[in-house]
Amino acid sequence: MRSMDTLNPPDDATEITAFWTWMGKDGICRTKTKPLAVITLKEAMENSVAVTSFYKDKKFPLLIDARNIKYMEREARKHFSTNGRETKINSFAIMVKSPLSRMIGNFFMGLNKPAIPARLFDDENEAVKWLKQHL
Amino acid sequence: MPLSASNLSDHHKERVDRILEVVMAYAQLDFTKKTEVLGNEDVLDAIGAGINMLGEELENSTVSLKEKEQLLKEVHHRVKNNLQIVSSLLNLQSDNVLDEKYLAMIKDSRNRINSMAIVHEMLYASRDLSRIEISEYIQRLCNSVHQSFSRPGSDIRFRFEIEKDLYFEVDHMIPIGLIVNEIISNSFKYAFPKDKGEIKISLKRQDKIFSLGIEDNGIGLSESFNPEKDGHLGMQLIQMLSEQMEASIDIQRNNGTAYRIIFKD
């Protein structure tokens, strides 16, 4: 199967300090880190506000493209784990590719134990297929 | 090609050295350093980021541990202060009491409270917040009891034969302290009508068995005295606390009174 590419931000994507965020036609929200983005708690919270803005009446899955990430600080990792806070997403998949993004992704998953279903992927088709279970 | 020092470029060698410096700093609990993440697609960037994240987690755990230690210290400090307040209240109460019998009861209660307050005072001051060294504790306890019973001209001395560097947790130290307090208080009260004598306290360890000896060279308990039947509150406490510690207790009456308490760690 040809690899899909639904991770190019459309013109109407919400642009914040370190991310572009938009709702896909398939009902899966997407958020993409900007090249060499350093995510502190501030950027993480900005991202949550942007993602939550797509909520209407039903929680939705989120696809995070972290392939260009440079670093994510501890407080941001804690925030993204969704432990102890209300969130409008019901699951998330993180796209990783480079050794750096793999390290950050695996560290996050291993230590921060997200409160909702979450997985790492290096294949977008697989990530979308998995997230569709949570639509 | 395998990654070895010989085929690393100077630039990579420098980066590896810098990463090692940060690892060594973290090993010494210095979390001010971070490895440089250049944003390259290489493995060194990934290792550097991993070490930085590990440092953040370690720093957080270390801070939490220090906060918990501080909190525990505060608890011991407050327990000690509260016990001293109770002791002072009893002291104030005794100012209005003329009956010798009640005054003696108040003094006994104060000594019991002090035996526990010393444990918390020592725990508060110790680096290890859960255990204290028994030799120092018993000597401080004996000093405190001695002061409460001291009378002008009295010559009652202590002799200690306690192994050094024996540490006990608070759960063990409180009953041990109360038992020692009761026994030496009895010696002060009944053993030395001429206010002259010696109280010897010994503690020996053999593997996991401890033998605590408390003996005086006073007039001794009468032959007809049965601690289980004739005992006052102090004796009842000794029995009860020994049972709590699953300790055996033996009383000898040769040239004074000697207690031998055997217990496990």
Asked if A104 and B49 come within 8 Å (Cβ–Cβ), the reply is yes
Confidence band for B110, pLDDT divided at 50, 70 and 90? very high
Distance between B74 CA and the closest CA of chain A, angstroms: 28
Confidence band for A46, pLDDT divided at 50, 70 and 90? very high
Q: Which of B109, B104, B113, B112 is nearest to B149 (CA)?
A: B104
H-assigned helices in chain B? 10-27, 43-94, 100-125, 134-149, 170-186, 227-230, 233-244
pLDDT at B130 over 70: yes
The answer to whether B235 touches B181, Cβ cutoff 8 Å, is no
Whole-number pLDDT of residue B32? 92
Whole-number pLDDT of residue B229? 62
Q: Is A77 on the interface with B (CB under 8 A)?
A: yes
Whole-number pLDDT of residue B138? 96
Model confidence pLDDT, tens digit, residues B69-80:
889 989 999 999
> Can you tell me the distance from the alpha carbon of B147 to that of B91, in angstroms, rounded to the nearest whole number?
14
Fold of A14-132: Transcription Regulator spoIIAA (3.30.750)
- Of chain A, the percentage scoring pLDDT greater than 90 comes to 85
Whole-number pLDDT of residue B243? 92
Residues of B in contact with A81 (CB under 8 A): none
Confidence band for B94, pLDDT divided at 50, 70 and 90? confident
Asked if B49 and A100 come within 8 Å (Cβ–Cβ), the reply is yes
Mean pLDDT of B203-220: 93
Distance between B89 CA and the closest CA of chain A, angstroms: 46
The answer to whether A30 touches A6, Cβ cutoff 8 Å, is yes
Interface of B with A (CB under 8 A): 37, 39-43, 45-47, 49-50, 52-54, 56-57, 60
DSSP letter at A114 equals: -
Mean pLDDT of B35-62: 90
Element (H, E) at B252: strand B248-252
Beta-bridge mates of residue A118:
A92
Model confidence pLDDT, tens digit, residues B193-206:
999 999 999 999 99
Which of A71, A100, A120 to probe by mutation at the B interface, max B CB count within 10 Å?
A100
Fold of B124-264: Heat Shock Protein 90 (3.30.565)
Tell me which of A26-30, A45-49, B123-127, B258-262 is least confident: B123-127
Domain spans of chain A?
14-132
